[in-house]
Amino acid sequence: MVGAILVTGGAGYIGSHVVLTLLEAGYPVVVLDDLSTGRRAAVPKAARFVKGDVGDRALLSQILGQHAVTNVMHFAGAIVVPESVVDPLKYYLQNTGKSRNLIQACIEAAVSGFIFSSTAAVYGQGDGAPVSETAPAQPASPYGTSKLMTEWMLRDVARAHGLNTAVLRYFNVAGADPKGRSGQSTPGATHLIKVACETACGRRPSMKIFGTDYDTPDGTCIRDYIHVTDLADAHLACLQALENQGGQFLFNCGYGHGYSVKQVLEAVERVSGRKLKTRQAERRPGDVARIVADVSAIRRQLAWRPRCNDLDLIVKTALAWERKLVAESEQVVEEA
C-alpha cells in the first residue's frame, strides 16, 4: 500500500503545484493549510484537505495517524525577506518554532521521510559565482536564518532518529502550471515576475525597481529563476529517492544561470506586448546583488531534468495565470 503524503502549505503557490504532481504520480495526498495566504480552490478534489495550523501538535498527531502518513513535504511558512527584517520574531515562530513541532510529531508517528522547502537565502551575499551546497551558510536576513535553523534541526534529528530527509534550497520560483490549474495567487505578492505580470494586466498601475546601483552589468539584482513545475518535479524525484534508498539529501533548485531585474521586465514586455510603467526605489533590506545556483548535485544524484528552462516560457505561463485571475475577478463583479 502506498502511504499518504502530508503536504503542509499545500494550498499555497509552490505547495499546490507539488500536490498536482504527486496526484499525477499516484500518491494519496493530505493537505494541511491555515489558508492565511493559500487558497482552498487551489487544492484538487482528489486530495484530502484539513484546515489548521502546522504548529498544532495535537492536530498533527491526529493527521499523521489517521491517514497513515509515510512522508511529509513541508512548505508552510512566511517568505517575505524585508518583512523578516522588521518582524524577525514572526519568522522564528512561523518558520522555525512550528517546524520543530512538525518534526517532533513526525518522529512520534514514525514518519519515514521529510522533505523541506528551504531557500537560497541561507547563503547570504555570495561572491557572484554559482553557489554550491557546500558554500558557507551566511544568511543576510531573519528569513534565511529561520530556514537554516530548520535545516539544522532536520540534520540533528536525522542523526538521532534515522529520519530520511531532503532539503531543497529554492532559488527564485516563478511561472504557473502550464495547464492553468494553479499559479501564484497570494494577495500583495512580492515576487518580481508576479508583480510584473500584474502590472502588464493592469492590476497595478506601476511597479518599483528596488535598487539600480548594484554591482551588476545593468545595476539591478540578478536571480536564478526556476519554473514552479520543474521545482515540483524535483520534489517528486526527491520523494522517490527517499523511498528507494533513504538517506539525507541537500540540493539547490535552480537552472544555474541568472537574469537581472531589467532583463525580466524586458521579457514581460516582450511576451505581453505592453510597456511597463516602472519607478526606481531604494534597495530593500536583506536583498543581495546576485545569486545563481550550482545545480550539478541534483542533476547528478536525481533523475531530474528541467522541462521549462526558458525565461519567456516562465513569463508566458505566469501571464496566462494572471489573465485568468483578472477574468475571474471581472466575472465576480458582473455576477454581483
Query: Which residues form the catalytic set?
Result: 143
Nearest alpha-carbon partner for 166 in 150, 188, 178: 150
The owner of cell 518558520 is 95
Q: What is the 3-state secondary structure (H, E, C) of 151-181?
A: HHHHHHHHHHHCCEEEEEEECEEECCCCCCC
Q: What single-letter DSSP state applies at residue 293?
A: B
Query: Which H/E stretch holds residue 85?
Result: helix 81-86
Pull the grid cell for residue 222: 540578478
- Kindly provide the b/e burial profile for residues 22-51, where b requires at least 16 CB atoms within 10 angstroms of the residue's own CB: bbeeebbbbbbbbeebbeeebbbeebbbbe
The owner of cell 515540483 is 232
Strands (DSSP E) contained in the chain are 4-8, 29-33, 48-51, 69-74, 113-119, 164-170, 172-174, 207-210, 222-223, 225-227, 248-253, 259-260, 278-281, 290-291
The owner of cell 550550482 is 294
